[in-house]
Every structure is written in C-alpha cells, then in structure tokens.
Amino acid sequence: MSSNLQKLKLLLSLLLLLGLVNCTVLRDRVPVDAGASAESGTPAESGASAESGAPAESGASAESEAPTDPEIRIEAPIEFEAKVEPEAPSETRTSDTKVLIKPSPESPSLTDPETVGREVKKDIATSPEVTPKSVPDPESKLEREALALVKVEPQQQVVAAFDPTVELCREVGQKLGSVSVEDCLSQNLVHSGFSTASRSLAFKDYLPVAGREPLGRVLVIGGIHGDEFSSVSVLIKWMQILDKNHSGLFHWRFVPTANPDGLLNRKSQRQNQNGVDLNRNLPTSDWMVNALSYWEHKTKRNPRRYPGPYQASELETQWLVKQISGFNPDAIISLHAPYHLVDYDGPPTAPEVLGGLSLRRLGVYPGSLGNYAGIDLELPIVTVELKSAGIMPRKKEIDGMWRDLVRWLRGQLSKSTRLK
Ligand SMILES: [Zn+2]
C-alpha cells in the first residue's frame, strides 16, 4: 500500500515538475515569437527592405539620404510607426476599423458604383444620415436638458453660412461618415466658382515655405465622380496628414469635391447635375472626333458615361480646366474607386505601388482627365482607384498610400526639375 502511495506521490511530483517546465518553455517562447513577427511585420508592410529588423537598419534602408522633411518622414518605416501616432489627428484612429460612409437614404449599393441608379429606397428610418449628427436622442430628462443647451448652436452657424464653402462643408459632413462638418470647415477651403446647382467649387493650397524652393506643384483631385465617396474622404485624410507635416517640399493644391452636385444631391451619382460624366467631358484633342461615337457604340449610350453635348460643356469641367491652366501643376493625382489599382498616364515613370494598390494601366478615354492631362498636356497623372467607393481603407493603408505617393513625387519631380 505504502509503496503504491509513494509511487503515486512520485508520479504526481513528476507531473508537477513537467508542468512547470512546460510553462517556462511556453513563457520563453511567447516573446520570441511576438518579437519576431513584430519586427518582420513592419518592414514588410513598409515595403522598404526585407531585412530591416533593427530600427537602425531600417532607418538607413531604401532611402539613403536621411529624410528630414516631415512630408517624407512618413516614409521611414520605423519612424513612421512611432511618429505618426501622435501626429495623426485623433479621429482618424477610428478608421482603423472599416468605416462605412454614411449612405444617402436613397443611395444604392455603396460597394459597387456601377449599380448606382438601379436599386433605390433604402430604409430611411435606419439611415444614420437622417438623424442630425450632434443632437442626442432626448430619451432622458438629463439629455433633454443638455439638448436645450445645445440648441443655441444652429443659430450661430447661420451667421457664418454666407461663405459657400460653409454650406459645402455642412453637406459634406452630413453625407460622409468619415468626415465631420468640423473636419471640412477646419480646412478653410477657398471658394473659387460655382457648380451647376450653385455649390461651391473649392480648393486648398499648401503654399511654398519661405526660403525653400518646392520640387514642384501637385494638384490632387477627389470626387470627380460623385458616387465614389471614399475618393473625397481619403483626400481629406491626406490633407489632415499634410496639416501636420507640410514642410514646403511641394506646393500642393487639393480639390476635395470636383463634382459637388453628384456627391451631395440627395441621391449621389457619378455624373454631374446635368447627367454628364465629367471624366469624359474634358476638352481632349480627340473629343470632337471620338467622344460621342465612343459613347454610342462602345458604351451603348450608358448614361453613366455620357460625355456631354460638347467638350467642356459643364461648369465643373470648365472650372477644372482653369485650375489646371492657372495652377500649372507638375503632376496631378486623381482619386477614384473601386477598381483597386493605380493607373498612370503621362511621361515616365509610373509609381509601381501606392500602399496596397499596384500599377495597372487602363488606357485613356475621349474626354478623360488621364487623356487630357497625361496625353495632351504631357503631365504625369496618377489615377488612384481605391478598393471600395463606400468603405474607407484602414488608417494604415491611407498613410501607406500617402507615404508612397510622396516618395514617388519626390523622385519624379526631382528628375523633371533637373531636366528643366
Ligand atoms: Zn471614378
């Protein structure tokens, strides 16, 4: 009996010992694995160098010159991770998770702009857009009291509503889930023309910095197709990055909503107020000969691709042409969705990747911006086709695209400056 008991005790203590050893081994293993994956994860995402595990290495990798520009600082993978956190506006952190852009009550399937115009009438009662953003639901007495205090605000806003960009921002903030009215207002957009339905055509410049010659002028255009919501939201996120980091590397001009009526009418649509696809209405050299016949025969008169009655027939097109001739950009970036790629027209060299988007040339169409700027004006033009028209990319992806874009622009415009 006693020997059996002894054996049992021995067995128990053996098991106990084994358990301890196991735990120690596991505990040792966890940090090693975690450490390895964290290190290998960062450079792989940054695309800079495969071996740059140690921060010192990665700082010196890819770009040999130490990036001193804040615009470029975002390029250095390790610095990027560390520095962007405090610099990025706190609200952009929410876009870490996929944020659905507030659909218009009648907005069709957001993920596929091609279906726009077919399915209509969403559940108005559940659409987040229908409820004014800042007014709490007066369920309790306390909330009702708070509401009474809040009610002063709209009257104050009316006073400032004479600047057409204020109304533009109010509408943009109500339409887009990822951009608040305040986000838009704080950009202090410059009103410089009216759309067909009398909305503001506006831009913002990030001017050259005293004592520093910019590498060039860059025009960034969002929302030329009104139902590609993410093209407006991502552009505004990029502006927020620049708000903190503009160092005079480039002279930027941002046009967040090139087709405000298409975006902001109750039912958003690709075309402008007159049903014209602005990205087929530019006065390209082949417009007169090809635009309408292309529309009739190739698109079978698809209303979403209608190039207009004549070239540059639309106020928005005329305004955009003036922007291009007046600002005289060295490169143009145009945001679209949802083809999930980078398209490029104009003189070499195209960017191979922007964040998770890879280069895939689609060719040009009569009246398209790529054709007008890239072929006729021989300007480098990058068409960023985001993955989804209605779902925001993650913050990391938005930052990654920006970082790659600045890197490409720096290479491209350094070259063209040298040639001048
Ligand atoms: Zn588009």
The average pLDDT across 141-153 equals 44
CA distance 7 to 67: 69
Classify residue 1 by its DSSP letter.
-
Structure tokens belonging to residue 127:
């659409």
pLDDT above 90: percentage of residues in the chain: 59
Give CA–CA dist 174/270, Å, rounded. 19
- Segment 214-230 mean pLDDT: 98
Q: Flag the least confident range among 118-122, 292-296, 414-418.
A: 118-122
Report pLDDT digits (tens) over 169-204.
999 999 999 999 999 999 999 999 999 999 999 999
Query: In this structure, which amino acid lies at residue 351?
Result: P
d(CA 261, CA 71): 32
Q: Tell whether the model's pLDDT for residue 1 goes beyond 90.
A: no
Per-residue pLDDT band at 270 (split at 50, 70, 90): very high
Q: Which of 71, 45, 48 shows the shortest CA–CA distance to 60?
A: 48
Report the separation in Å between the CA atom of 337 and the middle of ligand 1, taken as the mean of its atom positions. 6
Q: Which of 57-61, 160-164, 267-271, 304-308 is the least confident region?
A: 57-61
Letter for the amino acid at 181?
V
Task: Please tell me the distance from the alpha carbon of residue 404 to that of residue 375, in angstroms, as a whole number.
Answer: 24
Q: How far is the CA of 7 from the centre of ligand 1 (A)?
A: 77
Asked if the model's pLDDT at residue 18 lies above 60, the reply is: no
Name the helix (H) or strand (E) containing 34: helix 2-46
Question: Which residues neighbour 301 within 8 Å (Cβ) at sequence distance 6 or greater?
Answer: 295
Please choose, from the candidates 365, 367, 366, 357, the residue with its C-alpha nearest in 3D space to the C-alpha of residue 398.
Answer: 357
Q: Does an H or E element contain 212, and which?
A: none
Q: How far is the CA of 336 from the centre of ligand 1 (A)?
A: 4
**CA 224–ligand 1 middle distance (angstroms):** 7
Q: What is the pTM of this model?
A: 0.67
What distance in Å separates the CA atoms of residue 409 and residue 248, rounded to the nearest whole number?
13
Measured in angstroms, how far is the CA atom of residue 352 from the centroid of ligand 1?
20
Predicted pLDDT at 218:
98
Highest mean pLDDT: which of 16-25, 94-103, 333-342?
Answer: 333-342
The fraction of the chain above a pLDDT of 70, given in percent, is 60
CA of 114 relative to ligand 1 center, distance in Å: 10
CA of 339 to the centre of ligand 1 (A): 9
How many angstroms does the Cα of residue 134 sit away from the middle of ligand 1? 31
- Protein residues within 5 Å, CB atom, of ion ligand 1: 225, 228, 336
Task: State the distance from the centre of ligand 1 to the C-alpha of 209, rounded, in angstroms.
Answer: 33
Average pLDDT over residues 17-35: 37
Structure tokens at 391: 């779902």
Ligand 1 centre to CA of 259 (Å) is 11
Q: How far apart are CA 366 and CA 25, in angstroms?
A: 66
Q: How far is the CA of 92 from the centre of ligand 1 (A)?
A: 24
Domain boundaries 87-104+164-419, corresponding CATH code: 3.40.630.10
The Cα diameter of the chain in Å comes to: 106
pLDDT recorded at residue 158: 52
Band (pLDDT 50/70/90 cuts) for residue 149 is very low
CA distance 138 to 145: 9
Beta strands in 42-100 (DSSP E): none
In angstroms, what is the C-alpha Rg of the chain?
Answer: 26
Per the listing, tokens 């876009």 go with 95
Ligand 1 centroid from CA 278, angstroms: 10
Using an 8 Å Cβ cutoff, are 263 and 339 in contact? Answer: no
pLDDT score of 39: 30
Task: Express each pLDDT in 273-286 by its tens digit.
Answer: 999 999 999 999 99
Rounded Cα distance, 404 and 1, in Å: 76
Alpha carbon of 384 to ligand 1 centroid (Å): 9
Rounded distance from Cα 365 to ligand 1 centre (Å): 13
Q: How far is the CA of 220 from the centre of ligand 1 (A)?
A: 14
Q: Would the pLDDT of 228 be above 60?
A: yes
Q: How confident is the model at residue 162, as a pLDDT?
A: 84
Cis peptide before 70 (omega within 30 of 0): no
- Tell me the pLDDT band of 14, cut-offs 50, 70 and 90: low
Residue 223 · residue 265 · CB < 8 Å: no
Q: What tens digit of pLDDT does each residue of 355-410 get? A: 999 999 998 999 999 999 999 999 999 999 999 999 999 999 999 999 999 999 99
Ligand 1 centroid from CA 306, angstroms: 13
Q: Return the H-helix or E-strand segment holding 252.
A: strand 251-255
Q: Are 259 and 226 in contact (CB under 8 A)?
A: yes
- Side-chain-facing half-sphere of 28: CA atoms under 13 Å: 6
Q: Which residue has the higher pLDDT, 357 or 51?
A: 357
pLDDT number for residue 348: 83
Mean pLDDT of the chain: 74
Contact 382, 405 (CB under 8 A): yes
Q: Which of 114-123, 261-270, 396-405 bottoms out in mean pLDDT, i.e. has the lowest? A: 114-123
